[in-house]
Structure 1
Amino acid sequence: MPLSPSSSAQAARESVAEQLRAIRKDAGLTVAELASLCGWHHAKTSRIENAKTPPSPTDIRRWCACCRAETRADDLVAASLNAESLYTEWRRRTRMGLRQLQDSYVQLFRSTGLFRIYSPTLVPGLLQTEGYSRALLGSNARLLDIPDDAESAAAARVERSKVIHEPGHRFVLVIEEGVLRYQLGDHDAMAAQLGYLLTAGALPAVSLGIIPDATAQRILWPQELFHVYDDTLVSVELLSAQVNITQPGEIALYLAAFEELRSMAVYGAEARALVVKAIAALR
């Protein structure tokens, strides 16, 4: 059975918890004794050791100090912060605005050689027009109940997507045919978006595959939207959060899934025919 998309984050939390438990036991302290030394309730110690509550950097430093393991603190703080970055709620990621969220990806995009993206419901961000992106980000702002800066965020998204024209990058994108029919924005915005797919899909560095609705005997069912950056990071987009996967075993699973999805897609003239069909259906 496929691993949960949040399992990397949980595994990282559990690793920190296990190390803290081992430090306590090496110090010869019980859960209650450590809690008393740290100045908190013993239930907090249990929650931390069972990876139910993530420890703050202050908690970790106090824990290590009470166990006379101060030299372990810096590494454990770093590991704990990394674990929490693997699973991040969208409300936390967008607290500084949707524009800031778009800008936060620029360095990652520039440092990635091979992008592999699968999307079952949306035009991938790298191929979005400003009108389509504005409608999508505005909807996100309403759903998350955050300030709506969709206009400037959409402009930032289009700006960062210029990476598809820069040398040194390749883009392999696979979408379901339904993406072409899920209308975001008004008629003109959707028509412009579909038209841009015809243009962007023809770029030398871009491979755009579309899995037809009529695919007989699918070898893999539709998956969650995910991005693979080279072979080192998978970013999965859930309704409430973004999950960043770094464990090699899980990355390999997503790469295998991507290859199966890619094998079902059509390309070139067949893909363009599906886009043209969707454009005609708008009229």
Structure 2
Amino acid sequence: MRTSPSSSAQQARQGIAHRLREIRLDAGMTARAVAQMAGWHESKASKIEHGRTFPSEADIRAWCAACRAEDQATELIAAARAADLMYVEWKRLQRTGLRQLQLSKIKMYEQVRHFRVYCSNVVPGLFQTAAYAEALLSSIATFREAPNDVAEAVAARVARARFLHEGDHRFAVLVEEWVLRSRVGDAEVMAGQLGHLLAIMSLPSVSVGIIPQSAERSMWPVEAFNIFDDALVQVELLTAEINVSQPSEIAQYVRGFNQLAELAVYGAVARQLIASAIAELA
């Protein structure tokens, strides 16, 4: 079992382990007997129900068959798939390239009503220009040694921007001021991106906050995260994407977003920070 930094993922996996143990106890069997009937090494069943090994779908079917509980296999497999998606390494998500990952997000943006995003490193994907996205995704593809379908991935990412103009979505964006000065691409690319950010600020569905470098921090800079309504949080680490669905954890991210929002400036002051960053490019 991969070690996950998300307690949601850990608890979901542990819940499956506990359920398998209950099935075994209900059948009046020992862990050794389950392993023998499934054709495993005798320690495997113990490792599964103590959470040290995450069962495959075949393992779950074999366990339920050994305990004469085949009717419970389908539900457990669905739960295992959901748990497995809570912590997903980028190399797994991007093994066929970057385009498919961009396309997989469309339904989420289509359905969300209140989208909140905090980025401490780059301009959020939904608000990127094609040139900025190309520069960023090219570096990501190189670093992660993913198949190079950057042009198609850029087109898919930029196409998501249509949700800024249609439907009853609301978008709240928070970025650190240094994002405005961290060059992704050359000066021309950055100037175009910052100008695009200024244009986006005029949209009635969008709120853009910039956290000044001079702000006295009551909330420290953290990893980038997206909040989809109050139902899901996606956190972007260097190696993996974490999907948080546990209400108590979502509440912490909402609280963190709100505290970061209190540090930000908006409107004319935010525009001035962006304009200053554009001027420095000259």
On whether the aligned pair clears a TM of 0.5, the verdict is yes
Q: 5+ unaligned residues in a row in structure 1: which ranges?
A: none
1:154 aligned partner, one-letter code? V
Runs of 4+ in 1 over 6 A off after TM superposition: none
SS at match of 2:175: strand
Secondary structure at the residue paired with 1:276?
Answer: helix
Supply the AA of the counterpart residue of 2:221: P
Equivalent positions of 1:32-47 (< 5 A) are 32-47=32-47
- In structure 2, how many angstroms separate the alpha carbons of the residues matched to 1:187 and 1:43? 59
1:1-283 matches, within 5 Å, as 6-216=6-216, 218-283=217-282
Alpha-carbon displacement from aligned partner over 1:32-84 (angstroms, at most 9, x marks no partner) = 22111100112322221122222111111110110111121111111111100
Quote the offset at 1:147 in angstroms.
1.2
After TM superposition, give the deviation of residue 169 of structure 1 in Å: 0.4
AA matched with 1:263: E
**SS in structure 2 opposite 1:134?**
helix
CA contact under 8 A between 1:5 and 1:236: conserved in structure 2? no
What letter is aligned with 1:178?
W
Shift of 1:25: 2.0
C-alpha distance in 1, partners of 2:99/2:18? 38
Give CA-to-partner distance per residue, 1:95-141, whole Å, 9 cap, x none.
Answer: 22211111111111100011000011110111100111111111111
Deviation (angstroms), 1:148: 1.5
* 1:155-204 Cα deviation digits (max 9, x unpaired): 11001122111131000010110110111111211110011111011211
Distance 2:30 2:138 in 1: 52
Contact residue 138 and residue 149 of structure 1 kept, 8 A: no
Contact 1:12 1:83 in 2 (8 A): yes
1:92 Cα deviation from its structure 2 partner: 0.9
- 1:227 and 1:234 in contact (8 A); partners too: yes
Residue 263 of structure 1: how far off its partner (Å): 0.8
Shift of 1:23: 1.2
Q: Percent same amino acid at aligned positions?
A: 51
Paired with 2:266 and 2:125, the residues of 1 have a C-alpha distance of 19
TM-fit CA distance, 1:282:
1.1
Gaps of 5+ in 2: none
SS at match of 1:25: helix
CA–CA distance in structure 1, aligned partners of residues 267 and 195 of structure 2: 15
User: 1:209–1:262: 8 Å Cα contact kept in structure 2?
Assistant: yes
Query: TM-score, structure 1 length as denominator?
Result: 0.96
CA offsets 1:16-36 (integer angstroms, 9 cap, x no match): 011001111222222222111
Q: Which amino acid aligns with 1:281?
A: E
Are 2:234 and 2:241, in contact at CA under 8 Å, matched by a contact in 1? yes
Shift of 1:5: 5.2
Q: Distance in 1 between matches of 2:175 and 2:52?
A: 37
Q: CA separation in 1, counterparts of 2:46 and 2:173?
A: 45
Q: Distance in 2 between matches of 1:215 and 1:112?
A: 31
Structure 1 contact 120–225 (Cα < 8 Å) conserved: yes
Question: Aligned with 1:178: secondary structure?
Answer: helix
* Alignment size in residue pairs: 279
Give the conservation status (yes or no) of the 8 Å contact 2:174–2:211: yes
Deviates more, 1:12-21 or 1:159-168: 159-168
